[in-house]
Each structure stands twice: as structure tokens, then as C-alpha cells.
Structure 1
């Protein structure tokens, strides 16, 4: 089922999750252990991240330097297929611009379509690794709107090459939103204008970047509605679990940590996870009371803190553990 259909049919807020594939050489059993815990909470869908190739350098015994290029976390499509058939949960694979040609993206979409996967999240991805060369004969999507447009073209039966009687796909497309604005945008209004372009190009719903200040989300939603964006805007949350998150999360995700949360963690760093769980719980209650269509948890590897939050929420039977 499409994500947008889940929201249209929901009688109460939906709780969804985002996970990452195992590292190259890792076992999928570790992911399944997390999913075993997550599916007890009846998630309508689970996102799976996608990762471009990265480069790293190795010094050989003779002193020369050798460059290696590889994807540290391959397997997104395979994991989505396994999730769909093992757990019966709708997977939402991420598709990214950086590191993939349009041709590779088209191939991925064809595979997902054959697997009966109805949803994708279209994002630009991290800044390109300048040490990873682009194919000379390849074409690339530069921005998320270009990726959304390619997916919508396939939904209309338009492929990169002219194909007679081409099959139309039917993907539901999610796009990313930034309550505190994308770090490259000059201001929030310009960022929302770009977001509206993505929605107008075919985006069916919006999932936000993680945030810790609900005022940012509510202000963002108001501005989106004023701009004519009517699709669901789902708040994305991560539970702060350790003191180093106070520096790590703002640095890598370009977000702000409220002073009250920061001071509480600094004063009692050994209790950071419990502080983070309580903060996230209050965030969820306020967001749901304020009309958010659901909560999307960025759990990455360990879902336990997010599940602890859910256990504290006054949710109905559809979200309670089986």
C-alpha cells in the first residue's frame, strides 16, 4: 500500500521508522533483530536508507597510496524485499541523486516495481565525494526535484529512452522537508519555495529532518500551508541518547538543540538516554495534540529508545504491541 493511502485511511496518528542497511560484510540478522522489535508496534511503513559510494585511501607496504571506492552499506533494495515478504510491512527505500546515474536510478526503480514496492523517498543525499569519479557517459540528477521528476516520468510511462508501449509505474513519492531550513538555503521562505517545487513535481508527502524544537515544526507547517503545500507533513524525530549527540547531531544534520535539553544533559550526562526519552515523549505528545499526522522515528541501529518513547504515549490499539 502507498504511504499516502496509509495516511488517508488512518483513524489515528501513524508511527513509522527509518533504519539503515548493515555495513558491507555485516549480517542482515542484526537488522532483523531490530525489525523483530519494531514490527510489534504495527508500523504502516519503514524507510530504508540508500548510500552512495565513498572513497578511502590505503597506504601499501611500499609506501604508495592506493585509492579504493566502494559503498559501505549496499543492499537497500534486497533488504526492502526481505522486509516486505518476511514482515508484511511496506518498505520505503530511499533514492538519492549523489553517486548514481539516471540510468542506475531507472534500473533501481524497475527492480522495485517488479518487487511490488509502491513507495520511494527521493532525496539529493549528502554532498558528493569529490574523490569518486562520475561516469563520463552517465547522466545525473543534480537535485531532489530532478529525481522526483524522473520518478514521475516513469509513472507516466516515460523512460530515459523512447520505449513503445512502456509500462507505467505507480510509485508514491516522499520528499524531505527542513523545519529549520536546509543549511544551503538563504532563508526558510526560499527553502519552502523549493519544497513546493518538489511537491508540484510529484511529491506525495513530506518527512521532515529531525528536530528537537516543536516550535520549528509548527512554524514550518504553517508556512508550508501558506505557500500552498497541502500534502501530509510528517515530523521526523530522533531520541537523544548520549552527551556527544549535543555536538554530533548539530554538526552533521544542521539542527539546533534547545538550551533546556542541552543543559539538562550536560548536568547529568550519565542519564542522557532517560533525559532524551522524556524529551522525545513530550515532543510526541505536543506534536500529536497539535495535529501532526504521525511520528517518524530515525532509529538507525537500535530502536529501543524510540520504542520506550512509544510505550509512554497515549496511543490506540493499532500502535500497541501485538
Structure 2
């Protein structure tokens, strides 16, 4: 079932969903199941599975020279999606990236999604390659998520890259999610500029928006109003990430270019240890989510980052 259908069928009730990360190479999927199992009592209708782009590794050739190779440390997104669907009978949402993939590789992934009965995808540009300051398109790949959305929609109606005249009799459209940034994308020179890009993704065929994590609900609510003022009426799902360690005070703003509220910063700084920090993060997220429930969000979407104990405590207070 499509994400938009899940939301429509909920008839105004807020749904619970989560995002998981594939295990690193050589780690069995059972570890992933152990983190999903405790959250199934909250009946997530869908689970997102991230995709990692390629990165460089250097192999010592033993003669004083290093050989550079490309690799993916977390492969297997589609396989994990299929395994989760089979085990839990829930819909899965694989993340599709521009970075690291050619248009042909994207087409193969989408065809595989059709074979597996996967109806939902998340279309993302992706980050710059590790060690690079700026995003550079993969040769033969897309430059933006808007272009990726166009390709996904084209394939849904039978228009393949090298068979442009072939169109299916029945429209088999994927339900496409795209990212939204309540505090604007790191590369956008202004919020209005960022919103224009979001509008282009929606005009290209996106069906719903999932926001980057935020810790101040005012920023999400203001973002929703600005999006609605632009004539965008698709669902806007808030992304929630509970703080778990003191290191997050520096790491999250550095990686995601977000602001943390002063009250939260002070509480975390004054915590005696990371267990205390985790409890602060849980309590902050519960309060945050209750406000979002009152606002009427369609889904509370949790970034699990491979852990579920704190999310379980949060969800237990809400669902």
C-alpha cells in the first residue's frame, strides 16, 4: 500500500513509523531485527531503509604504494526491504540516491522494486562523497532529487531510459517521498530558495515530504505554513531524533546544520553521564511529539540509527 493511502486510511489518526540503517558488511540481519522487534507493537505501517553511497578505501600494496578502491560499507537496501516486508508484513521504503548511482542503475533498482511489490520510494540527492566538500553528480547520474523524481514517475508509466516510446496501459506510479528542511538545506542560500526547490520536486511528482530532524517545533510549524503558502498540499511528515549522548550537541549541528534549543543544550550539558542524557532526550522527544500530535501531524517518523530502546520508551507514552 502507498504511504499516502496509509495516511488517508488512518482518518486523521497519527501513525508511527521508523527509519533503519542497513548493517555493515558481514553483520547478519538478525541484529537489525532485534532493533525492529520491540517497535512492532506500535504497528508501523511502513519502515524506511536508508541507502549508502560509495566511498573510497585505500589498500596497501606492500611496496610503499596505496591503491584506491570504491566500496559500499552498507549494501543491501532492497534485500533488507524485501526481508522486512516478508517478516513483518509491513510496507518498506527504500531510499534512492542520485549520488553514487547512474540513471541505468536507478532504473534497475526501480524494476527490482516492482518485482518485489515495493510501491514506495524516497528520492534523495544524497550527500557529498566522504572526503569531498561539495556534492558532485555521478557520471551518467542525476544532479538533483527533482530529476530523480522525474525518472521514477516516467518508469511508473512504462517510459524507460532507452525505450521512450513504450508506455504501459496501466499507470503503476510509485508513491514518492522527498526531503524537506525546516531549517533549510545546508547548501541553500535562503529558506525561500530552498522552498522553491521543494516546490519543483513536488511539481515533478512527489507525493509526500519527510522533514530532516528538528528539536524546535516552532520551526516545523513555520515550515509547514510556508510550504502551504506555496500551494503545496501533500502530507508533511516530521522526522524525530532523540538526543542520546553529549556528543550529539556538536555532532548533530555539524552534520545536519540544525539549531538546538537553549533549554535542551543546558540540560544536556549539566547531565552527569550519557544515561542521564538519554533520559533527557527521551523526555524532550515525548514533549515534542505530544505537541506535534496536537498539531495534527499525519505520522511521527523516528530516525532510529540502529537503536530502539529510547524510541520504544517514547512511543509507549504516545501510542
TM range (shorter): over 0.9
Which residue, out of 301, 306, 310, partners 2:315?
310
The answer for the alignment partner of 2:126 in structure 1 is: 125
Q: What's the CA shift for 1:130?
A: 7.3
Q: What's the CA shift for 1:276?
A: 0.3
The answer for the alignment partner of 1:208 in structure 2 is: 211
The answer for the alignment partner of 1:10 in structure 2 is: 10
Q: What's the CA shift for 1:134?
A: 8.3
Superposed CA offset, 1:2-34 (max 9, x none): 001001111310110000001011111101111
Q: What's the CA shift for 1:200?
A: 0.9
Which residue, out of 229, 252, 257, partners 2:255?
252
The answer for the alignment partner of 1:71 in structure 2 is: 72
In 1: Cα distance, 2:253 partner to 2:137 partner: 30
2:180–2:210 Cα contact (<8 Å) kept:
yes
* Residues 130/255 of structure 1: CA separation in 2 closer, same or farther (3 Å cut): closer
Superposed CA offset, 1:9-64 (max 9, x none): 11310110000001011111101111212222100100000111100223343321
Q: What's the CA shift for 1:205?
A: 0.3
Compute the TM-score of the two structures, normalised by the length of structure 2: 0.94
Q: What's the CA shift for 1:156?
A: 2.1
Q: What's the CA shift for 1:188?
A: 0.9
The answer for the alignment partner of 2:298 in structure 1 is: 293
In 2: Cα distance, 1:121 partner to 1:235 partner: 15
Q: Secondary structure at the match of 1:120?
A: strand
1:234–1:293 Cα contact (<8 Å) kept:
yes
Q: Secondary structure at the match of 2:16?
A: strand
In 2: Cα distance, 1:177 partner to 1:42 partner: 25
In 2: Cα distance, 1:214 partner to 1:93 partner: 27
In 1: Cα distance, 2:272 partner to 2:239 partner: 24
In 1: Cα distance, 2:175 partner to 2:136 partner: 31
Structure 2 residue runs of 5 or longer lacking an equivalent are none
Superposed CA offset, 1:105-150 (max 9, x none): 0000000001101000000011135789988xx5211100000000
In 2: Cα distance, 1:188 partner to 1:13 partner: 27
The answer for the alignment partner of 1:283 in structure 2 is: 288
Compute the TM-score of the two structures, normalised by the length of structure 1: 0.93
Q: Secondary structure at the match of 2:211?
A: strand
Q: Secondary structure at the match of 2:304?
A: strand
The answer for the alignment partner of 1:218 in structure 2 is: 221
The answer for the alignment partner of 1:25 in structure 2 is: 26
Structure 1 residue runs of 5 or longer lacking an equivalent are 316-322
In 2: Cα distance, 1:141 partner to 1:130 partner: 20
2:157–2:167 Cα contact (<8 Å) kept:
no
**How many pairs are equivalent?**
312
1:242–1:269 Cα contact (<8 Å) kept:
no
The answer for the alignment partner of 1:98 in structure 2 is: 99
Q: Secondary structure at the match of 1:300?
A: coil
Q: Please identify, of 263-272 and 87-96, the stretch whose mean Cα deviation from structure 2 is larger.
A: 263-272
1:22–1:28 Cα contact (<8 Å) kept:
yes
Q: Please identify, of 14-23 and 55-64, the stretch whose mean Cα deviation from structure 2 is larger.
A: 55-64
Q: Secondary structure at the match of 1:145?
A: helix
Q: What's the CA shift for 1:258?
A: 1.0
